[in-house]
Structure 1
């Protein structure tokens, strides 16, 4: 089944289905976290949410799919980028969230999950 990311509720549902994720405050807002570290957060900009990612992957995503992935000056230099809801490639967004999970996982969690998406 292809995931959908049409709203923040969809993002939360997907992220919370990943192992050991729980909703905890992130700058005062409940967000999906693994081991106390955020995977995603509601975007400050309408129609988007922020997803955590590695800097090198961020650059690739911004360059290869600017219709989905973007940033404002607020997110420059930060390990996150904005993701527009209702993307044409929801599986790519799912992989970004899975990688955010994997990057925050402890070794036993990674071993149970498998290779990094």
Structure 2
């Protein structure tokens, strides 16, 4: 289980990440782009890599889901009360990596245990 406070601590430890608002709710942005947002219903939206959203939903539908509103966007919806804190930390780091320059991403690599599997 995790919560927005944990998400915020993890994200703000990464360079260029700032607290903000989006649609009147708390959000985390990287260089002005949305990384995550806490919706009014307690569900978090989270930027994910292309293709990862479907894999997460297939593997853990009790944690990850989507709605038609997010079709075509690299966003997964996360039930924080059901989510694993370490997994969410890794996903935040990966989402952040997609929003920063390669040089900065390389300076803050994803921990090996959270790295995506190699084909």
Cα offset, 1:115, TM superposition: 5.2
Gaps in structure 2 of 5+ consecutive residues: none
Gaps in structure 1 of 5+ consecutive residues: none
For 2:42, the equivalent position in structure 1 comes to 47
Output aligned runs, 1:77-116, within 5 Å: 77-114=72-109
TM-score (normalizing by structure 2):
0.79
Coordinate RMSD, CA, aligned: 2.1
- Matched residue SS, 2:82: coil
Which whole-Å deviations, capped at 9, do the CAs of 1:26-49 have from their partners, x for residues lacking one?
A: 3454521112211101225x2311
TM-score (normalizing by structure 1):
0.80
1:9 aligns to 2:5 (yes or no) = yes
| Cα distance in 2, alignment partners of residues 49 and 69 from structure 1 | 10
Q: How many residues align?
A: 112
Asked if the contact 1:43–1:50 (Cα under 8 Å) also holds between the matched residues in 2, the reply is yes
Asked if the contact 1:39–1:52 (Cα under 8 Å) also holds between the matched residues in 2, the reply is yes
- Matched residue SS, 1:105: coil
